[in-house]
Structure 1
Amino acid sequence: MTAPAGGTPAGQAWLTAANVVRWRRYGEGGQELRPGTKSHRGGSKVYVIGTYAGVAHEQLTTIGRGRHTGTYITTDMSTRNLHTFRAVPVHSPTVLRLCEEAGAGGCWMSRQDAEELAALLGRLSVGYRTTSWAGPHPTPCRCHECLTLSPA
């Protein structure tokens, strides 16, 4: 595995990382809450390795530790189920191998590109979470927005 000319050294890549929301709204009108997602536990760290063009980044391809097995898996997930996007250097051989196997274009980003993507996805994820459900929040609500707005 080698980096492109002028890129990061072999064995390291810059990717956009995010965390899975602890609780997500689910069901009719978003009145139910579920922890994490079907594939990942709430709070799990995932790496974004690809976005779908033409869908306004609503779906992302990610690599992260699976909910049931604990091994790294590659999944497609909704941007609204992720938060705290940030650029990180990745040294894990497993993550780099899965990224290469997926053939995703985000595997060899520069730090600046990863930071720009993280900022964009951070803004979009908030919008997707607020517009996904037309109904009011359940009471009490533990979704990501309600948890981040509540006083600690």
Structure 2
Amino acid sequence: MSEELEPVWAVAANVVLWRRYGDLGQELRPGTKAYRGGAKVFVASAYVGMGHEQLTTIGRGRHTGRWITIDTATRHLHGFRAKLLYTPAVLRRYAQVTWWPVRTEEEAVEYAALLERIAVEQRASYHGGPHPDPCLCHECLSRG
């Protein structure tokens, strides 16, 4: 039952190390509930009608280390890039949930750039209050 799966171009990203949480974003939490900070994930699908606020991602789970498929807020991801996907377990999950497969490297690069812009905008606008002091969120760590 060893099927040969063809590699596909996909968009990869990393989970932010620290994210703002709570009232006005004054608390900091590492990674997300499902992923550790810095974990590499693959974007399988997006909710375009909602302005790409949520993405369906495939990555290694925080608690089990097994491959999981879960919806993740775009603002919790960074470093979007085009990546040729080879891993059979990820390819199978990708085929089950994607409805708009990226066909070429150029498409993946364009989509990665769009998602990076959206993620930066969402992180900047999501919490209305000032950053806590000291702040370890992605923006603050990226600046310094």
Shift of 1:105: 2.2
CA distances 1:32-81 after superposition (whole Å, capped 9, x unpaired): 00000000000000000101121111110000000000011000011000
- Correspondence list, 1:21-36, <5 A: 21-36=16-31
Q: Say whether 1:130 aligns with 2:128.
A: no
Shift of 1:101: 2.0
Q: Which runs of 5+ in 1 are unaligned?
A: 1-8
Q: Secondary structure at the match of 1:105?
A: coil
Q: Which amino acid aligns with 2:105?
A: R
Which residue of 1 is the match for residue 7 of structure 2? 12
Distance in 1 of aligned mates of 2:37 and 2:21: 14
Q: Which amino acid aligns with 2:63?
A: H
TM-score w.r.t. length of structure 2: 0.94
Q: Which amino acid aligns with 1:65?
A: R
Which residue of 2 is the match for residue 89 of structure 1? 84
Using the aligned pairs only, state the percent identity: 54
CA distances 1:95-131 after superposition (whole Å, capped 9, x unpaired): 00011122x1244531111111000001110000000
CA contact (8 A) 1:15 1:106 kept: no
Could you list the runs of 4 or more consecutive aligned residues of structure 1 that deviate by over 4 angstroms after TM superposition? none
TM-score w.r.t. length of structure 1: 0.89
CA contact (8 A) 1:96 1:107 kept: no
Match of residue 117, structure 1, among 111, 132, 140: 111
Which residue of 1 is the match for residue 140 of structure 2? 146
Which residue of 1 is the match for residue 68 of structure 2? 73
**CA shift in 2, pair 1:93/1:107, >3 Å:** farther
CA contact (8 A) 1:48 1:106 kept: no
Shift of 1:28: 0.7
What root-mean-square deviation, in Å, do the aligned CA atoms of Structure 1 and Structure 2 show?
1.3
The count of aligned residue pairs is 141
